[in-house]
């Protein structure tokens, strides 16, 4: 087995709430610098900056998973991660069809949404509103994305807003989530486990949910023992099968 440090929830400057410094190239370059060997790019309801991140990942030797943070009809956030760009591209079509009729982005209110290439060159500004819910319920997002090969987890369940646990009160077995994420504000929950009964004892992931480089580098990560850095191996680690393991928390000393 090999050891990997992973962050499965990272935003680029395509997300209107992320800083301009969050270009795919900058994120991947800093990941390589700090020993973060696996990351997932998960912008709000969009995948447009994933190709640049994949190219940067090949350059720096960082495994990049194509992903997306989806806001379901319950106004909660779910993160879907795929093994290939083609899978995510097909999922993007599902999301686009579920968000027809939304107004354009109000850049002054929400922030601008930029698409760039792997060398940080500006390509275009996304004018569609990326924030906001789609018409798919949580169970539909989970079921349909998993049928297409995704790993799915509920984002920042400890938060009062945009949290599936916060919206539903509990997460039942009917929702076939692979894991739930707790934010950096709830790291004590790793020991206390107060929320475990409410989330069906699902495994915790701890990601940065990075919107700035400092947030990304200083945020929590996941320590994994895998045969190789593939999505199937990560799924095995979350279930503790075939000797694969993962540990959530903090694993890097930062100086940034």
Can you spell out the DSSP letters for 14-69?
Answer: TSTTS-TT--HHHHHHHHHHTT--EEEE--BT--TTHHHHHHHHHHHT-EEEEEEE
Q: Is residue 77 part of a domain?
A: yes
Beta strand spans in the chain (E) = 2-10, 38-41, 63-71, 77-81, 114-116, 122-125, 151-154, 179-181, 204-205, 221-226, 245-249
Q: Is residue 16 part of a domain?
A: yes
Q: Is residue 255 part of a domain?
A: no
User: What share of the chain in percent tops pLDDT 90?
Assistant: 97
Which band of pLDDT confidence, cut at 50, 70 and 90, is reported for residue 254? Answer: confident
Per-residue model confidence as pLDDT tens digits over 64-118: 999 999 999 999 999 999 999 999 999 999 999 999 998 999 999 999 999 999 9
Provide the number of structural domains found in the chain.
1
Per-residue model confidence as pLDDT tens digits over 195-215: 999 999 999 999 999 999 999
Per-residue model confidence as pLDDT tens digits over 44-71: 999 999 999 999 999 999 999 999 999 9
**The pLDDT of residue 256:** 59
Q: Is residue 9 part of a domain?
A: yes
**The pLDDT of residue 25:** 98
Average pLDDT for the chain: 97
Q: CATH no. for residue 122?
A: 3.20.20.140
Look at residue 172 and tell me whether its pLDDT is greater than 80: yes
Q: Provide the token pair at 44.
A: 């709000």
Look at residue 193 and tell me whether its pLDDT is greater than 80: yes
Q: Is residue 256 part of a domain?
A: no
Residue 235's domain spans which residues?
2-249
Q: Is residue 254 part of a domain?
A: no
**The pLDDT of residue 189:** 98
The stretch 142-147 carries a mean pLDDT of 98
Q: Is residue 172 part of a domain?
A: yes
Q: Is residue 81 part of a domain?
A: yes
């Amino acid at each position: 087995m090999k050891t990997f440090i992973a962050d499965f929830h990272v935003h680029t400057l395509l997300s209107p709430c992320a800083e301009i410094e969050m270009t795919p190239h900058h994120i991947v370059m800093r990941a390589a610098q700090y020993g973060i060997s696996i990351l997932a790019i998960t912008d709000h309801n969009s995948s447009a900056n994933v190709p640049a991140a994949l190219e940067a990942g090949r350059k720096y030797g960082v495994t990049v998973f194509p992903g997306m943070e989806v806001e379901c009809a319950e106004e909660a956030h779910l993160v879907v991660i795929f093994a290939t760009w083609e899978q995510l591209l097909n999922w993007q079509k599902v999301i686009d069809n579920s968000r027809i009729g939304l107004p354009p982005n109000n850049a002054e209110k929400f922030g601008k949404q930029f698409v760039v290439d792997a060398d940080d060159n500006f390509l275009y500004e996304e004018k569609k509103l990326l924030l906001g819910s789609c018409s798919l319920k949580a169970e539909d997002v989970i079921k349909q994305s998993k049928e297409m090969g995704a790993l799915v987890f509920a984002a920042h369940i400890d938060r009062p807003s945009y949290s599936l646990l916060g919206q539903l009160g509990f997460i039942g077995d009917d929702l076939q989530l692979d894991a739930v994420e707790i934010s950096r504000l709830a790291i004590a929950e790793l020991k206390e486990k107060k929320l475990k009964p409410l989330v069906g004892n699902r495994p915790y992931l701890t990601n940065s949910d990075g919107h700035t480089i400092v947030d990304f580098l200083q945020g929590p990560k996941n320590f994994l023992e895998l045969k190789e850095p593939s999505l199937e191996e990560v799924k095995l680690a979350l279930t503790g099968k075939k000797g694969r393991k993962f540990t959530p928390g903090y694993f890097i000393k930062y100086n940034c």
